[in-house]
Amino acid sequence: MKEQDILELVKFGEHNQLECKLGKGGLPKDIWPTYSAFANTTGGMILLGIEEKEGTFYPVEGIDVVKLQKQFWDHINSNQVSINILQSDDVKPIKVGSYDILQINVPRALRQQKPVSINQNPYIGTYRRNFEGDYKCTKEEVDTMIAEASNSTRDSIVLSNYGLEDLNKQSLIKYRQRFMIQNPNNDWNELDDKEFLRRIGGWGRDREKSIEGLTAAGLLVFGEEHTITDFFNNYFLDYREKVNEVEGQRWMHRFTSQSGDWSGNLYDFYQKVIKRMNEDVDVPFELNSEDYSRVSVTNIQRAIREALLNTIIHADYFTRGNIIVEKNSEEYKFVNPGLLRIPLEKAISGGTSDTRNQNIFKIFSLIGLGERSGYGLENIHNIWRKNDWEIPEIIESFQPETITLSLKTKKLISQNHLDTLKKSLDNEFDDLTSMEIKFLSCLLEKNSISRRDIQALLDINSIELSKMIIHIEKLDIIERNTINNIEFYKLKNIDKTNDVVDRENIINGVKDKLKGKIRVKPEVLKQLVLELCSDDYFTINQISSVLGRTENHIRQKIVLPLVSEGKLELKYPDNPTHSKQAYKTRP
């Protein structure tokens, strides 16, 4: 990392992926909770040789980085921590001007390595990280990490005292009918229900306990809601739909697993949801190239189906959290309990699979549902890219553990963006290719974007991208920065007046709501921040000025929690520590 990058990081202060410590008298003892926290969350960087004064961080002199480096390796390779997940290049001395700093990069631990704990006791020495710093994990969080570290699939466990009487008969009948259509010559069609379930992973035998019964997968996929919740206390399925904005109406259509007018199991949930979600998707007339039959499913429908199946198949039914599926006029949203089991980059690039519920996956795949070999997310990204829609967004949260997939059907190139570019570039706009307009439109929407992301979004190779950037740079409208060896681009010299709304009216409206109020609850302040940032980006300083609170209070207690909750988006999402970072309410 370059000197300027370090200074930018330090200037912004600590956050969920950066910890600064002094280290003047030797290796700080509190470095190990931070090591554990970064490893168990999303990774991060520790800088030794940084001092905090009144909320501002400065490099200090007199730091013996060689000694600190040796002490660090001595401790991490002892029984101080449960596992060393670092490589030699992750710990290195760096120079910032005349100052010596020890930089420690802590990667996210693999699920098989978690929990990364200290002091030889995972239940009192396991930490995670949020915007307020390191925090001790609960017993439930530690138990989940231990369970997730196993290579056995938890949905294969045999449930004591659960049998065929706990299933919804109609769900199983409908499944078997579809299985027969999909596999007409399969011998399993002649089996009774118990043996059929055994073959597909819904019935099992625990040889150690000498018991037979439904597997967790069998109960979840075909059970009755009340029998499912007898074992899975947190089980809850929720479908919400709001296509048109109707005043006073939160949802136009909604059903949950507890409504009592249907089984409430996973198989029927899939059938009900996919029917609702496909209702408004246009199916153009298209013929199959092989037999000239009409194509009845579009790529968009396939992407929605894959997203729904991913949500069901990869959910952690043993932990807190609900499955939530939402359909809005410009967005499909899928939420499931549980964290990613492989790095996000691998999940998007495809070819790597680490299925949490292998039996549930098997049950759906046997009737032709579910993408094999880990290409589900990649296919979704490809379909969204071909439609020139916004990049699919995946948000990972830790309290509680959830994954949110947002698929927005908004065009990357809006008329507003075109007007802005035409006004700023004048005659030079006509010289831009359609690919270059897409690139600039992405920057107008996202403000900053990495080379890797823009290459994936535009579906072009590195050479084509380099040629395009060279041409655009001649127009003096973009600039590039390198952070952690990753190249980012952002706009400059672009007049965005077409994108500006009447900020003053919004600001005055928020101020009026605070008049005469000295003490305001944090939740009220959060709502005011969401209102303030509803149509434009505001910096911490600007928000602080409008609300009349200190910058530190606004950052730590209001803004960063809203970011963590997925309610605020960053102006520079690829560089959270950007000196001009600003925030806007998510649509």
Instruction: Report the range out of 204-208, 251-255, 455-459, 485-489 with the highest average pLDDT.
Output: 204-208
Residue 500: predicted pLDDT: 44
Rounded mean pLDDT of the chain? 86
d(CA 385, CA 394): 15
Long-range contacts of 82-89 (CB under 8 A, 24+ apart): 82/115, 82/116, 82/117, 82/118, 82/120, 82/122, 83/109, 83/113, 83/116, 85/39, 85/109, 85/110, 85/113, 85/116
Three-state secondary-structure class, residue 105? strand
Q: Confidence band (pLDDT; 50, 70, 90) for 105?
A: very high
For residues 424-434, average pLDDT: 81
Domain with CATH 1.10.10.10 in the chain: 415-497
**Rounded average pLDDT over 165-186:** 97
The residue that leads in pLDDT, 422 or 273, is 273
Of 158-172, 313-327, 547-561, minimum mean pLDDT range:
547-561
Contact 560, 131 (CB under 8 A): yes
Q: What CATH number should be reported for the domain whose range is 152-288+296-410?
A: 3.30.565.60
Measured CA to CA, the distance from residue 344 to residue 354 in angstroms comes to 12
Q: How confident is the model at residue 152 (pLDDT cuts 50, 70, 90)?
A: confident
CATH number of 3-149: 3.30.950.30
Question: pLDDT digits over 267-292, tens only?
Answer: 999 999 999 998 876 555 454 555 44
Over residues 207-233, the pLDDT tens digits come to 999 999 999 999 999 999 999 999 999
Q: Is the pLDDT of residue 333 over 90?
A: yes
Of 113-117, 217-221, 539-543, the poorest mean pLDDT is in 539-543
Higher-confidence residue of 572 and 26: namely 26
Q: Which of 562, 563, 582 is nearest to 572 (CA)?
A: 582
Domain 415-497 belongs to what topology? Arc Repressor Mutant, subunit A (1.10.10)
pLDDT of residue 325: 97
Check residues 485 and 310 and name the one with the higher pLDDT.
310
CATH 3.30.565.60 range(s) for the chain read 152-288+296-410
Q: Are 410 and 330 in contact (CB under 8 A)?
A: yes
Q: Considering only CA atoms, which of 211, 214, 210, 183 is closest in space to residue 197?
A: 214
Residues of the chain with CATH 3.30.950.30: 3-149
Q: Which CATH class is domain 502-585?
A: mainly alpha
Run of H or E including 219: helix 216-222
CB hemisphere CA count around 341 (13 angstroms) = 22
pTM confidence score: 0.74
